[in-house]
Each structure stands twice: as C-alpha cells, then as structure tokens.
Amino acid sequence: MNIRVNNTRQQFAETLDRAPAGEPERQYYFLDRLREVVEKKKAEEGFSATFHIETYGCQMNAKDSEKLCGILLKAGFTEVESEHADFVLYNTCTVRENANQKVYGHLGYVHSLKKKHPSMLVGLCGCMMQEPEVVAKIRKDYRFVDLVFGTHNIFKLAELLYDRLMSGHMEVDVWEGTTEIVEDLPAERKYPFKSGVNIMFGCNNFCSYCIVPYVRGRERSREPEEILKEIRRLAADGVVEVMLLGQNVNSYGKTLSTPISFAELLRRVEEIEGIERIRFMTSHPKDLSDELIQVMRQSKKICRHLHLPVQSGSTDILQKMNRRYTKEQYLELAFKIKEAIPDISLTTDIIVGFPGETEEDFEDTLDVVRQVRYDSAFTFIYSKRTGTPAAAMENQVPEAVVKERFDRLLKEVQQISSEVCGRDVHTVQQVLVEEKNSHMDGYVTGRMSNNTLVHFPGGEELIGTLADVYLEESKGFYYMGRREV
C-alpha cells in the first residue's frame, strides 16, 4: 500500500512556501496541516491514527517524549500502550552499548509488524540518532524506517511527519548542534501532579567516557523567567512537584547574558505558590556551591535528596575520567552536605572497569561507598563509546575482572543501602501519593521527600496529594505505613 498522501507536488510546495519562518509559529502551522492529513488518512483502511512512543535513557528523554506525545495528540493521533500502532516512535539512548542493542532488537520486531501493516509508520529519534554511523546503518539496513531525527529538533515533529507523509520517502533530519531553544509547544504530562522542567540542555564537561556532550551538544541554559513562567503554569494546572532537569544543574545560568546561579534559581522557584516539592538532577560535584547547600538547608520545598555521581573513588581514575575532583574533595563535599542537612539522602552513579582501573583503584571506590553510605547507587559496567577519549585508552580491563568487581560493588552497595534506608522507621513523614499499588488492593504508593517509596492503605482519591504517613515497618528499600489523620 502506498502511504503517500494523494496530493500534487505543487500543492505540497505551496504549503511549504506559506509556512511561517519563525518558531514556534511554524510548528503550529504544520500541526494544522498534519491534522488535516491525518483526518484524511483516517478514512483509509487500516489507519486509525494510533501512536506509541518507546522511551529509553534518562529523564531528559522522558521529558522529550512528553513533548513528542503532546504534538501527536494535537495532530489528531491517540496513544496506545503497545507497538501495535499506526505510528511507532523510538526515543533512543546511547549512553551505554546495551541501550543501543535494545533499540535494534525492537526494530526487528516492529519490522515484522510493518510487513503485516504496510501503512504503519516507524520513527527513530533521540541520542543514538546523533551518531552518523547509526544513521548510516539505518539508511542501509533498516530501510523500512520512515522518519529519523535527533535531539536538537524534536520540536519539529509535526513538520517532519507532515513532510514524510507528503513526500513518501524516508525523512532524515539530524542537526549537529543548535543554539536555538524552542519551547511553548504542546506537551502531554505523564503525571498530572508532577513534572520535569528543562532548565538547561547539553553538557560541556566531556567526561572522557561519556557520549552525552557529543549527542546533546553544548550547554545552553534557559532564561530564568521562561523557567519560572513554565512552573507557574504547571502549578496553576495542579502540579505540586517539579524536577529541574539538566546534565549538570550546578553550572546553570553561567552562560546567560545576565548570569544567575542555580541556587538563586531555586530560591525563585521556591516562591511559586502551589509548588510543594522541588527536585533536581543531576549535580556535578565539581560545581556544587556552598550557596546551594545553604539554600537547600533553609528551604521548605527542596527535597531531602541529592544525586551526586562519584563515578570512581580513585583520584587517579577520576583524573583520567576528566571529572575534575579528587577522592578527598568528593568525600569532603559529601560530609559537608551531610553535616549541613543531616536528613539528606545521598545517591550516586558508579562506573566499574574504566580503562586502567587496578584492584587498588577499585578498593578506593569501595572505600568511598563505605564512608559516604549512600541510600542507593546506580552501578554501571564501563561501556566503550566510539569517539570518546576513553575508547582510545590502553589497558581496557578484561571482562571477567570487571564482572567480579561489579558483583562485589553491588553487594556492598545493597548491604549499606538496606541499613541506611530504614532510618526513618517509626516517624511520621510527608508522602506524595503517586499511584494505586499494583500488588495490594486498597493500598497506594508514594514517595517521601528523600525519594524513598512508601506503601500504605488508601484510595485513589489520594493520588497527587501530600499525606502524613506513619512509617510502621522498614522493608529495606521501602516502607509500609499508615496514614496519620
């Protein structure tokens, strides 16, 4: 079946000619055109305008998917839970090799679906698409893919999809970088009561193992007024918790024409009525200021949780990673934070098996874990990313050695975390109720300020509200509680 919409080349050209040049007006124009085309196609057999987005990777990608979803809903599509849809879009991640492999696996599956339903559209976007080798491979081996775009132009989905439908050819539009920040387009929030808010894009740190700066581009901060305006709007719409998002929030605002610190931005967010909780991700230790610690300490709304990736405990490895702090500096910072905010929960990311990592280096990592006593830690096996400096380093650690270290680290992390997480048992804590408990009837599940999960008896009407909950029992990584009324 031909999935090109019947229309003349000239009409298509005229539509393009009439499009406004400025954003976001241009995208609103294409949203209208796309909606017309989608309406027309709905009359065709086998096209009911359903869509499904598969999202991989971090919170930035999750946030991007909400934007993509908002655009598709406005264009007349309806969302479905599985890949049995008229349009399937994969928002990809490439931070580790296994993230890539997952996507190729899904592409094989979706190809089999498309063979049965040729009118189906398949799209790929996100970080993986910023790698030229990946796009070359898609063009060559995955010719059934209809649409490919990157991280810098997700706001253009309506235009790209419209072009694809009108031209009938695979549409590839990946930008190398951008200085543009296009917001104010529709977005569909996954939760009515909490939302991520981008405060900056990209990263300038170039940690030697990491591909993110290459696929997300240079660091760009949004203007504080734009951010505050968005959060005020969210608050008016019932959002009580915001998560400020950036690869390195501690360097927020430094490159703006009127520079502002991250701590100052937090102060201003705190003033917004209706917002009860403020979270943020991620903090690079090298840029975490005393001002931030003070603001967190005094705040009633900033959550008692700090994700502070250490990556390694060895000063030597940290230097090779280009992290720009030593083991001692990290420990000093962690202790300073704990002293200033005693009820804080610290979490981290750790990479095992970075090139050249010796047993002694690894012992240093274990030592940091034992000293800081994290509430939880994400542990990763080093993954070689083409184009990063670490990929070219000698002394890549043998797989068996890495695996053995990884298992030792995991055991240590889990042991400590089970001891630490239960510290609030038999106290009353405020819990933001997030959902009905899927395993226990009549129970709901929520999160404490420090991000720990709590299950307690309650009904759906509590979702999105803050409840005072007495923590009856610690189960290691979560609590069972009862509501205090």
Residue nearest to ligand SAH (CB): 349
- Looking at residues 275 to 334 of the shown chain, list those that interact with ligand F3S (rule: CB under 6 A): none
- 284 contacts ligand SF4 (rule: CB under 6 A): yes
Burial of 247 (C-beta count, 10 Å sphere; 0-12/13-18/19+) = buried
- Looking at residues 77 to 116 of the shown chain, list those that interact with ligand F3S (rule: CB under 6 A): 93-95
The CA-atom distances, in angstroms, between 157 and each of 162, 178, 414 are 8, 16, 42
Task: Report the alpha-carbon distance of residue 363 to residue 155 in Å, rounded.
Answer: 46
Given ligand SF4, ligand SAH, ligand F3S, none, residue 215, with its beta carbon under 5 to 8 Å by kind, binds ligand F3S
Task: Tell the smallest beta-carbon distance from residue 95 to ligand F3S (Å).
Answer: 4
Residue of 382, 456, 478, 479 that binds ligand SAH (CB under 6 A) = 382
Given ligand SF4, ligand SAH, ligand F3S, none, residue 206, with its beta carbon under 5 to 8 Å by kind, binds ligand SF4
- Number of chain residues interacting with ligand SAH (CB under 6 A): 17
Burial of 119 (C-beta count, 10 Å sphere; 0-12/13-18/19+) = middle
- 213 contacts ligand SF4 (rule: CB under 6 A): yes
Q: Could you tell me if 307 and 279 are in contact, meaning their C-beta atoms sit under 8 angstroms apart?
A: no
Task: Tell the smallest beta-carbon distance from residue 380 to ligand SF4 (Å).
Answer: 11
Task: Tell the smallest beta-carbon distance from residue 55 to ligand SF4 (Å).
Answer: 18
Task: Tell the smallest beta-carbon distance from residue 281 to ligand F3S (Å).
Answer: 11
The mark string for 231-260 relative to ligand SF4 (x by CB under 6 A, - otherwise) is ----------------xx------------
Of 210-218, 231-239, 262-270, 307-315, which part binds ligand F3S (CB under 6 A)? Answer: 210-218
The mark string for 304-323 relative to ligand SAH (x by CB under 6 A, - otherwise) is -----x-x------------
Smaller CB distance to ligand SAH: residue 106 or 385?
A: 385
Smaller CB distance to ligand SF4: residue 110 or 288?
A: 288
Reply yes or no: is the peptide bond before residue 389 cis, omega within 30 of 0.
Answer: no
Smaller CB distance to ligand F3S: residue 57 or 313?
A: 57
Residue of 27, 61, 198, 345 that binds ligand F3S (CB under 6 A) = 61
- 205 contacts ligand SF4 (rule: CB under 6 A): yes
- Looking at residues 71 to 110 of the shown chain, list those that interact with ligand SAH (rule: CB under 6 A): 95-96
Smaller CB distance to ligand SF4: residue 31 or 210?
A: 210
Task: Tell the smallest beta-carbon distance from residue 203 to ligand F3S (Å).
Answer: 8
Of 65-73, 208-216, 358-366, 448-456, which part binds ligand SAH (CB under 6 A)? Answer: 208-216
- 212 contacts ligand SAH (rule: CB under 6 A): yes
Site residues, ligand SAH (CB under 6 A): 95-96, 209-210, 212, 247-248, 282, 284, 309, 311, 349, 351, 380, 382-383, 385
Where do contacts with ligand SF4 occur on this chain (CB under 6 A)? 203, 205-207, 210, 212-213, 247-248, 284
